[in-house]
Structure 1
Amino acid sequence: MCKQKNLLAIIFLLFGTVQLCFSQTYAYYKTRKYIKNYTWLPDFKLKASGLQFPVFDDMESLGQSFLLPNQSILNFKTKSDTPEKISSLNLVLRFFVQNVSIAEFKITDNQSHELKRTVKFISQGYQPPLFLNFDSLSAFDKKNLKIAITFQNLNTKNLARFIVGDAWLGDSKIEKHLSPSKTFMDLPYSNPRSTSSVQLTPFESTGQYLHFPTDQYEEHYKSNVFIEDSLRKPEEILNDVFFSLLRSYPFYNERNLDKNQILTKAEALLREKSSLCDKVAKISHFLNTELKDPHFSIQSKCSLQSDKPLITPIYCYNFNDRAIVSAILDTELEEKIPLGSEILEINGKRISLSKEFTVDHLHQLLKKTPGEKMIVKLINPAGITDEVNYSLKPMYSTSKKYSGNKGDTYTFLNDSTTYYKINSINDQTINTFISNLDSINTKKNLILDFRNCGGGDFLAGARFLSSFIQKPFKYFDFEKLNSNKLDSVIVNRNLSPSNFRENGRIAVIINKNSACVAELLAGCLKKERANAKIFGSESSIGALAFTYQVVLPNEEISFTTNAISYGKILINGKSIETKGIVPDVLVKLEKVEDLAPYEDKVLRAAVNGI
């Protein structure tokens, strides 16, 4: 039914003109609008640094930057539409530091008012945009604001560099916009029935892409979609959103799934009477067992309500369909269950690894609540069959010998080889890599380790690749879902002077947990660099898609999903869904010691074969 006028007025204020009948469930995304009240006027005496600032998140690339001497003064010009009364401002700074440990920022006016803020740097190089709040500015003369910057050297024996690309004083605000996704255009949603009433803008990559499909818009790629409904029950909203996403899911064929059968099973599940948390658990099990797509899952705060999370001290690896113990997080169990033991039974259940029953399923059997008793039957490396009883402790810590290298960082393996571990692909990861290229380029060989990297940001991935490929190149093919027509995304030439050496050799390491953008980067490097080679003990997972977070009211339940994508991402015109990237050099693992972080047979193969 249509709602009363006072409710209509509120919704019109939030969303603009929409159709409101039969339902009032809305799907919208948020954007941040920057309000630049004061802009920086670089002093003509400042020396240009020659450093260009890359794209960061929704901030554009910067073609020029300036080297600031210590104790510099930044002067700001007031914009004509700046309000007279401003109680607080944020200093927003795009900058690069070298050999700088601490910087102090002091805002002053011509009335001797001042406020100070101090920033400590945990890393050098390109910094993420700094948002520094200056509150209580009511007494300041707003027409004469200045920022004094003073910094300390990390090493007093070396020179420090503080380079600024842009600076402004102002604020930002969050704005709501209806999602244009076709998933949310029909009942039970109150979004418009067609995109004609939603203003769409061309996709903006701030110069990173040379070509992007012309009928793909900025609004199509807002990764967080929020569901809002103040009248309906949470269970009803959850049911509607889940079923809508299943209807829109685009990979039934690639995963050899019968769509009608999946939807029929889902309808039966949603008809079951259960609590909200039980419903979430059932949906999670359904997605894990029916779709088996790492890009489609449900998360909730229900799991946080339990004081006893599921844990295990035992982890295994699949060696020729045998579940071999690869890590023990309990020192008391290490003697009873040596590394390399084969798990035969868990609490009386016989273990037989297959495509249907994987190591992940085995770990689900091993994970119980603290205090529960476990019985594990095994064969140890000496060939002796044993049965081990133990009780789960309140918690287990992962020691360094099992965790390996968790950070995005680099190290020199020998005189000619740099090793770089990348766990996620985002602007800061890429900034860190680019900031260290001078050092990395002192070695001819580079190993990029994407093992267990679940992907990340596509624009950041394009920028990363452009530091290896100094020309425009095809990033991926794009198959439009509404027409099945093919188009491509072309990356622009490198917009910064940071490049990996042209004669450098590249080894890319992947495993079954390398996904999405990590797979895309591996494929592009192999195609575009003649001296790039992929190493691994297995193919990557084969899950390449734009993903979204669909957040339900009160933000207690959310879906991670690829179901509202506008197209499929193809590599060389083909989908890698469920197939993955196949290594050029397939390294066979035969024993626990072959794994990382033990002797790491795959890494040794990359070092020797690069």
Structure 2
Amino acid sequence: MKNSRCKLSLHYVLSFRIIYAIVPVLMAVIMFGGAGLCHAQTLVHYMVKETDTVYEMKPGNSSRETAFFFPNYDEWKQLETGYVMPADTTVMLSEYASVKDINKAILYLRVHSVNISKIKIRIDTSKEELLMTFIRDGYQFPDGVDIGRLLTGGDQTGPLPVHLSCEPVNAGKPMSFILGEMMVCSDRVTRHISPVGIFQQAPFANASVSGGLTLTPFDSYGNYIHYPAGEKEEASKAALVISDSTKDTRLLLGQTLLALLDNYPFYTERRLIKEQVLQEVKSTIDHTGSLSVCEMVDTLNRYLLSHINDPHFFIRSACATTVPLQSPLQVYSVNGSVQVAAVMDDTLRSMVPPGSRIRKINGTVVREDASVSEVNRLLRRKSGEQVTLTFLSPAGKEATVTYRIADKYRMPANMMPANLAFRKINDSTTYYKINRIDARLPTDFASRLDSINSTSRLVIDLRGCGGGDLLAGATFLSYIIHKPFRYFDLVAVNGNATDSVMVRANPAPFHYRDDGRIILLVDKNTACTAELLIHNLKTWKQGTQVWGKEETKGALAIIHDISMPDGRTGIGTNALGNWKILLDKKSIEGTGIRPDNTVLIEKVNDLQPYEDKVLQMAIRQ
């Protein structure tokens, strides 16, 4: 029996990071699963990770029910009650259903804690103890603890006693342990034929097997009060796989890429000529016949990057992850030229000072107007490869150095603050860093609201944030915008139909202060759902100001990942949706959002890792 509270699916996402976290889990299913499927045709399936409840909590004498809000987390719904637990207790979980793969069982806890560093978990069927570690007070992330090996071989009938023992951060202070939910679940990945329109026509054959599909309305888990009525849950699944045993990866990759480019929705916005792109890509594919899959991927990606330059349309391959391209130099655009901002190699650091301008890389002259991405393509090499660099130092002296790429470079902590980093800048201002928008964001924000609301200004740093989950973004905004609001507008890819998405007012007591002022920090790598946050806060939260040294990325679309049968190659694409996302009925694709206050970066020390001129000017206003 399936419990809807436990069911997880691969949903609409706006950041490829989320899909990448899921894809490795699916590879075994893609490569070895699916017995009985017809492989004589090119079929596309969507993948769903479903979670069956095995045991669930039935509170006993050791807990006291109380009114207590828990924020929703991914597809875990918001709760309005919790249970006050002793620091050392046993929770009896009642058997909910039997499953075959008990070795895959995961224990999930939704917890709010104060002064607890860790919880020791022990199951009666095993003497082994597991640890759940907490890094701060507040709502903890219900990521789950693998307990399958503790259950395998034991008595799986009847109640399951789970012993919980809390350890304090400070032994001299009291602990608080509020338990919202507790259950044992078992995960499984299933595959289903995709109803997406492009797969109903050649070279795909989904139309031959999708006639009897039952489609359900899109489910926003209570976040939206309006969404286009015709959109279906099954078409929104982001993780897709192709099955066809009669074609090799190169042929499937080429056919799929051409079909997606034929359906690509942003030719006008990116000032591209569709017929020319299709012709050039077809010619490129024809000339890769003798290349390996890895070489073909590299060749096609170079074309996509140089001609389309859309971060939501690219080919991924295990080749790139097996042999990563890297550089010991971090470069940024400073006052109109690309300069060295940081050196991550101890020996090279003494030879190439920050602020140096790169003149040549392995003999290739670097133009004065070269972009950061162009310079990085020349700098990044495989481990062991040699690079000869000619540069002009800040003192005006030209020099040349030769070095080899190391196996790995460690990014200095000051180059990118940790996701959800939080600190108080002064008595009136707090700082909050968002590197990605996922289920953790609204939960973490809710935990920090008391501290955030103790100051009148909140700096939200979205620099480098490539986006994330639409629903998580909507939940986060609902903690700041205290009313229903229009999240974004939509226009049909094929036709002139328009619609919009409306977010429900959040009934939970997680509210940013009404008189608070928000400062947003952005850069050219701020994209997707992060751009939605900017637009909505500027529109619905009075006094919001945007600061940055440049406009945002201008890449706002719904993303899917299509895996090839080899399990090693795939395409990330924004060419499968029925709608294009608009802000105030206008597209920002390729143009981005311009800051209210543009800060001129005149030297390397003005950059974020050092003096951070953008932040300093923003908080001085």
The question of a shared fold, defined as TM-score above 0.5 by the shorter chain, is answered with: yes
Q: Are residues 1:172 and 2:187 paired? A: yes
The equivalent residue for 1:316 is 331
The letter for the 1-side match of 2:442 is I
- Are the equivalent residues in 2 in contact too, given 1:252–1:259 (CA < 8 A)? yes
Structure 1 distance, partners of 2:554, 2:276, is 23
Q: Is 1:190 matched with 2:202?
A: no
Distance verdict in 2 for CA 1:530–1:154, change over 3 Å? same
**Equivalent residue letter for 1:248:** N
The share of aligned pairs that are identical, in percent, is 33
User: 1:306-336 CA distances to partner (integer Å, 9 max, x unpaired)?
Assistant: 4xx5433333322343222222233434444
Counterpart Cα distance in 2 of 1:542 and 1:143: 55
Matched residue, 2:219: 204
2:177 aligned partner: 162
The answer on 1:217 being equivalent to 2:232 is yes
User: Aligned to 1:553, what secondary structure does the other structure show?
Assistant: coil
Q: Rg larger in 1 or in 2?
A: 1
Q: Secondary structure of 2:482's match?
A: coil
Deviations 1:118-140 (A, max 9, x none): 22314233233224424445552
The CA distance in 1 between the partners of 2:304 and 2:339, in whole Å, is: 27
Distance in structure 2 (CA, Å) of the matches to 1:114 and 1:346: 60
Name the structure 1 match of 2:82. Answer: 65
Shift, 1:250, TM fit: 0.8
CA deviation profile, 1:13-52 (whole Å, cap 9, x unmatched): 767xxxx79x522211121233224332224784344332
User: For the structure 1 residues 149 and 396, does the alpha-carbon distance in structure 2 shift closer, same or farther, using more than 3 Å as the test?
Assistant: closer
Q: Which residue of 1 aligns with 2:113?
A: 97
- For residue 128 of structure 1, what is the amino acid of its counterpart? F
Counterparts of 1:291-330 in structure 2, within 5 Å, are 291-304=308-321, 306=323, 309-330=324-345
Given the alignment of the two structures, is residue 403 of structure 1 paired with residue 415 of structure 2, yes or no?
yes
Deviation per residue, 1:382-433 (Å, 9 max, x gap): 333x131322242463463752423421011111111111111111233222
Partner of 2:10: none
What does residue 75 of structure 1 align with? Answer: 92
Partner residue, 2:147? 133
Of 411, 416, 434, 2:428 maps to: 416
C-alpha contact 2:381 2:405 (8 A) present in aligned 1: no
One-letter identity of the residue aligned with 1:123: I
Spell out the pairing of 1:565-604 with structure 2 (5 A cutoff).
Answer: 565-604=577-616
* Paired residues of 1:473 and 1:491 also in contact (CA < 8 A): yes
Aligned CA distance change for structure 1 residues 38 and 279 (closer, same or farther; 3 Å) = same
- In structure 2, relative to structure 1, the CA distance for the partners of 1:82 and 1:365 (3 Å cut) is closer
Distance 1:137 1:300, change over 3 A: closer
Partner-residue secondary structure (3-state), 1:64: strand
Q: CA deviation at 1:215?
A: 0.9
Amino acid at match of 1:100: I
Offset from partner CA, 1:232-255 (integer Å, 9 cap, x none):
212211112211211111111110
Deviations along 1:91-132, one digit per CA (max 9) or x if unpaired, are 333222222122233334xxxx55554223142332332244
Picking from 369, 372, 388, the partner of 1:359 is: 372
Cα RMSD for the two superposed structures:
2.7
Partner Cα distance (1:180, 1:353) in 2: 49
- Residues 46, 66 of structure 1: 8 Å contact kept: yes
Cα 1:518–1:14 shift into 2, 3 Å: farther
DSSP-derived class of the 1:554 partner: coil
Unaligned runs of 5+ in 1: 1-9
Corresponding residue of 1:236: 251
* In structure 2, distance between residues paired with 1:159 and 1:498: 24
Contact in 1 for aligned 2:518/2:543 (Cα 8 Å): yes
Return the alpha-carbon distance in structure 2 between the equivalents of residues 383 and 91 of structure 1: 61
- Aligned partner letter, 2:315: I
Structure 2 distance, partners of 1:516, 1:88, is: 34
Out of 43, 53, 68, the residue aligned to residue 51 of structure 1 is: 68
Structure 2 length normalisation: TM-score?
A: 0.88
What do residues 506-551 of structure 1 show as CA deviations (whole Å, max 9, x unaligned)? 1000000001011110111111111211100100010001111111
The CA distance in 2 between the partners of 1:370 and 1:86, in whole Å, is 42
Q: 1:115 to 1:211 in 2, by over 3 A?
A: farther
Cα pair 2:561 2:572 within 8 Å, conserved: yes
| 2-structure distance, mates of 1:200, 1:59 | 23
Task: For 2:389 and 2:475, locate their aligned partners in 1 and report how far apart those are by CA, in whole Å.
Answer: 48
Matched, 1:475 2:474: no
In structure 2, stretches of 5+ residues that fail to align are 1-31
- Provide the secondary structure at the position in 1 that maps to 2:620: helix
Distance in 1, matches of 2:64 and 2:202, equals 60
The one-letter amino acid of 1:251's match is F
1:25-36 aligned at under 5 Å gives the runs: 25-36=42-53
Q: Is the 8 A contact 2:428 2:455 kept in 1?
A: yes
Classify the secondary structure of the residue corresponding to 2:247.
Answer: coil
Q: Supply the distance in 1 between the matched residues of 2:220 and 2:66 (Cα, whole angstroms).
A: 25
Q: Which moved more, 1:320-329 or 1:543-552?
A: 320-329
Counterparts of 1:285 and 1:141, CA distance in 2? 54
Q: Of 121, 145, 163, which aligns to 2:133?
A: 121
Instruction: Assess if the C-alpha contact under 8 Å between 2:460 and 2:519 holds in 1.
Output: yes
Counterpart among 484, 502, 506 of residue 494 in structure 1: 506
Mark the CA change 1:438 to 1:248 in structure 2 (over 3 Å): closer, same or farther. Answer: same
555-564 vs 269-278, which moves further: 269-278
Match of 2:5 in 1: none
The answer for the alignment partner of 1:456 in structure 2 is: 468
Q: Distance in 2 between matches of 1:180 and 1:347?
A: 49
CA distance in 2, matches of 1:469, 1:375: 53
CA distance in 2, matches of 1:346, 1:86: 56
Aligned to 1:258: 273
- Asked whether 1:286 is paired with 2:303, we answer yes
Closer, same or farther: CA 83–346 of 1 in aligned 2, 3 Å: closer
- The 1:196/1:339 distance shift into structure 2, 3 A limit, reads same
Q: 1:245 to 1:117 in 2, by over 3 A?
A: farther
Residue equivalent to 1:276: 293
The 1:31–1:606 alpha-carbon spacing in structure 2 relative to 1, beyond 3 Å, is same
CA contact (8 A) 1:14 1:176 kept: no
Aligned to 1:558: 570
Against the structure 1 CA distance between its residues 77 and 334, is the aligned structure 2 distance closer, same or farther, given a 3 Å change threshold? closer
List per-residue Cα deviations over 1:155-175 (Å, max 9, x = no partner).
112222222222233423222
- SS of 2:87's equivalent in the other structure is coil
Note if 1:150 corresponds to 2:165: yes
Secondary structure at 1:96 match in 2: strand
**1:388 partnered with 2:400:** yes
CA distance in 1: counterparts of 2:82 and 2:88, whole angstroms: 17
Aligned to 2:517: 505
Alignment: residue pair count = 585
User: Counterpart amino acid of 2:140?
Assistant: Q
Change (3 A) 1:402 1:343: farther
**Residue 349 in structure 1 maps to residue 361 in structure 2:** no
- Contact map agreement 1:100 1:153 (CA 8 A) in 2: yes
Change (3 A) 1:14 1:175: farther
1:575 is paired with a residue of what secondary structure?
Answer: coil
The whole-number CA distance in structure 1 between the counterparts of 2:33 and 2:120 is 44
The one-character-per-residue Cα deviations of 1:43-74 (angstroms, maximum 9, x if unpaired) are 47843443322222232222322221223332
Label 1:349 to 1:427 Cα distance change in 2 as closer, same or farther (>3 A). same
Q: 1:14 to 1:152 in 2, by over 3 A?
A: farther
Give the 3-state SS of the residue equivalent to 1:555 in structure 2.
Answer: coil
Q: Does the residue aligned with 1:439 lie in a helix, a strand or coil?
A: helix
Partner of 1:379: 392
**Per the alignment, do residues 247 and 193 of structure 1 end up closer, same or farther by CA in structure 2, a change over 3 Å counting?**
farther
SS of alignment partner, residue 550 of structure 1 = strand
Looking at structure 2, the residues matched to 56 and 324 of structure 1 have their Cα atoms a distance apart, in angstroms, of 42
2:529 pairs with one of 502, 517, 540: 517
